[in-house]
Structure 1
């Protein structure tokens, strides 16, 4: 008999598969104190939570019989994934269950903001009948800017087009071909900000999207634009939004989420232009049931010896392949992160080529490492070895894995190639005996670079003085060069320079480098 502990309130209909299973005992104990949770989890084969229970390292270590932790929702911020992996516990979530709920909520917030419905209702409750004060705007023929074109962004788009809105979308993975197929205009972030009458954000909250909509972003918007956030608090810089609303630059905001929740004392709530609710995007009967059903099914599958459909933590490499593949794990991640940091355009294909001794084993675990490290730059740490393929598929990115006989003089060679709608770039790496991971080729140039720390990649013309000018400029910005590698095709032709430096270079220094004579392209990255 499998013992399943449910420590947060869940839909009874959603956990019906568990309740009706003859081989499963369900223990429902929401809102337990820490000591009781530790006591109960020690007897459980599975643990199901929402956002209230904190599944810490201590909890996981007490769960000596735990095989799986299920999160009835999207995020897994309340679960220590590393500890789960260390303890051999599969973690699953339900990323699709609240898509419709959140998309419909976004449209409800959009229309409420456009027609001033909450404000007018509140005024009516106060005994006022003021029709002129709450004149709104129509959605028809207005432009909706969608920042983040994932599952929810696409569903919102279909509903907006039903209101006869024009849609322009931005997403790091969205190519012009994919946008055309979806019936939307493809745009850069700046183009979306400049053209949209309404802007809705549907991105994860990661370092790259924290305060993505900031003071500079508001300055690029139309006067009188309106903005929505039903994704994650922190994507919009709240102080900048407050100033934009106060100045009249932004006509209205619809907010489901805030940087700090509960947002009881948030000054944005004092503004009459703001429509807000307490994080209700996934709060529908159907969504709560859907996520519970999805997680319940995965829990039963794993407890019965099967594979989860929505795992989010790292699986172990099969024992028979560990000796061969384990040394290449770091190299795979570094190559993907290096190339993903410098490639431009919407990603179409991730190609990974293996040669030498690596052709004797199934290198798929390494490919997953590559895909994960590339996607994490755009999607965040929710991407891991297990779900990276699914996320790539959802975003229309094709993954190709190929074994070749060409080793280019190395015992083993791992080559990563990224194809975007703007360019194709490649990087090759190997393991040098006793020296660890090395980048040995970049875009066809031979180099020898340790893929770690602060680096600058520079495409330039092979001319006398080019290297000296770069060194002098970095010195002016108090940046010390640790190592330098230069590769070229022929004398006086195209060349590449890769510098390892002691600290980060800021945007100003990068801008100055880009304008140095004979320099064509400058890209800073940190590994």
Structure 2
């Protein structure tokens, strides 16, 4: 494996890659065009925040499999373009948690006590104690937007300062917040009641300008705002106007909408504390994020499971334990259907029944699509881009969940409609092993692995013998056979598991047996 590094990262991370036998090229500061010219040689790319990994770079990357961001935010990476191409984007969300948390507290204290302004005044020869009278944190209300690792760390430290903490995070339960000593609140409540507001949200379409002129108008004149998250989460123009006109007391800004930024009007105001994106800039954090992203790439190189994939979220251990065998089943169901249907696929309906309906089944659906699409697209589709590839091919994907498992504790049913017809296959897991229990309405008990022959036929004597003879004449052993029928003398299906590939000539011979309606050779 060969890795390109285009931003400065700790040598400890580089050393880990080299010790794992991975070839590393460090070309710090090269331009987009320079990256485009060489990126096809590499399997992985590691950046920090300086390099912009654009669609142009990604489209030129014929061999790239992983993009590693030595840090948290990935707004400098075109994640959508990477996803479309099946490239995993990983980050290091925990390596700079303490650094960003402490930076938030440092800015909050500096803002409340006018420390930078007082320092500049004293250095300038003035002994001015009156101008820089501050406020205490004790007893104040802190509003935290985003209660992830950094937001939670800030809450913990704010409580130690005897602040009251309100938090907004749609993914955190009131019970979890209560266990932390935090009270959950909606945005309006925080905007109206908080004395300090700190933002710890990623930048996306939902959080862009989450604090703008309208939101600031709801705030106390004494409020102070801190942003150590991402530029663009707060509207800088609206913040500037409010600070200039004295509508709010102050702000501390570490991140900027356009970086590097040295000409923002916010930097000219005396009630603002500014820093040049130092949230992760500690010696410890830079070592940690480099080590974390290096370990992710090493894990990928060894065929292990990546923990921090941005465009392929990982399952919690307890969920993975339950769903892992169903991922295998789902991919086999998709592949089986793909190999036994004809025409262009129009839609796929996936029904999850039983206990598995309690879980996020996104991962299972991806594996159904992976099995369905990979048969025709080979390695160009993976679990990263399966949903995107399905969408671009006009394949409509529908999920249904039901807790009522009927005869089975868990059941996955995949129904695919094509221009030539419709096929439905159901499967479950027994003792950790996938099983097909229904094929086109016929009840069977088949193991979906290896070489299979799927033979729809009329239920009558004289079918099995000629089929077995045709297979045996080619010196192919039959490992097992399951037959399902709807009624005596009606439609039936046989599933034969054999020990080797069945040549097309044998498939054609079986298809000519009286009563056989169709024959499909499947390899899973």
Category of TM-score, reference length = shorter chain: 0.5 to 0.7
2:273 equivalent among 272, 275, 298: 275
Given that residues 43 and 63 in structure 2 are in contact (C-alpha distance below 8 angstroms), is that contact kept between their aligned partners in structure 1?
A: yes
SS of residue paired to 2:11: coil
1:158 equivalent among 156, 162, 169: 156
Match of 1:32 in 2: 30
Alpha-carbon distance change, 61 to 143 in structure 1, aligned in 2, over 3 angstroms: closer
Q: What does 1:54-453 align with in structure 2 at a 5 Å threshold?
A: 54-314=52-312, 320-323=332-335, 353-354=352-353, 365-366=363-364, 404-405=404-405
* TM-superposition CA deviations, 1:328-375 (whole Å, max 9, x none): 99878xxxxxxxxxxxxxxxxxxx9438xx99xx96634679xxxxxx
SS of residue paired to 1:16: helix
- Structure 2 residues not aligned, in runs of 5+: 314-326, 339-344, 368-382, 385-399, 422-524
* TM-superposition CA deviations, 1:475-506 (whole Å, max 9, x none): xxxxxxxxxxxxxxxxxxxxxxxxxxxxxxxx
Shift of 1:61: 4.5
Alpha-carbon distance change, 227 to 112 in structure 1, aligned in 2, over 3 angstroms: same
Match of 2:478 in 1: none
* TM-superposition CA deviations, 1:8-31 (whole Å, max 9, x none): 11111232211333x222211112
**Counterpart Cα distance in 1 of 2:271 and 2:221:** 14
Shift of 1:33: 3.6
Given that residues 254 and 276 in structure 1 are in contact (C-alpha distance below 8 angstroms), is that contact kept between their aligned partners in structure 2?
A: yes
**Counterpart Cα distance in 2 of 1:105 and 1:190:** 26
Shift of 1:239: 2.6
SS of residue paired to 2:297: helix
**Counterpart Cα distance in 1 of 2:235 and 2:95:** 28
- Structure 1 residues not aligned, in runs of 5+: 333-351, 370-384, 387-399, 415-429, 437-527
Alpha-carbon distance change, 260 to 16 in structure 1, aligned in 2, over 3 angstroms: same
Which shifted more, 179-188 or 240-249?
240-249
Alpha-carbon distance change, 269 to 156 in structure 1, aligned in 2, over 3 angstroms: same
Q: What does 1:483-494 align with in structure 2 at a 5 Å threshold?
A: none
Alpha-carbon distance change, 180 to 331 in structure 1, aligned in 2, over 3 angstroms: farther
SS of residue paired to 2:217: helix
* TM-superposition CA deviations, 1:167-196 (whole Å, max 9, x none): 111112233222211101221211112221
Given that residues 224 and 248 in structure 1 are in contact (C-alpha distance below 8 angstroms), is that contact kept between their aligned partners in structure 2?
A: no
SS of residue paired to 1:179: helix
Match of 2:9 in 1: 10
Alpha-carbon distance change, 58 to 320 in structure 1, aligned in 2, over 3 angstroms: farther
* TM-superposition CA deviations, 1:376-434 (whole Å, max 9, x none): xxxxxxxxx87xxxxxxxxxxxxx97664469xxx9989xxxxxxxxxxxxxxx98888
Given that residues 348 and 416 in structure 2 are in contact (C-alpha distance below 8 angstroms), is that contact kept between their aligned partners in structure 1?
A: no
Instruction: Give the alignment's Cα RMSD to 1 decimal.
Output: 3.8
**Counterpart Cα distance in 2 of 1:218 and 1:208:** 18
**Counterpart Cα distance in 1 of 2:337 and 2:138:** 56
Alpha-carbon distance change, 321 to 365 in structure 1, aligned in 2, over 3 angstroms: farther
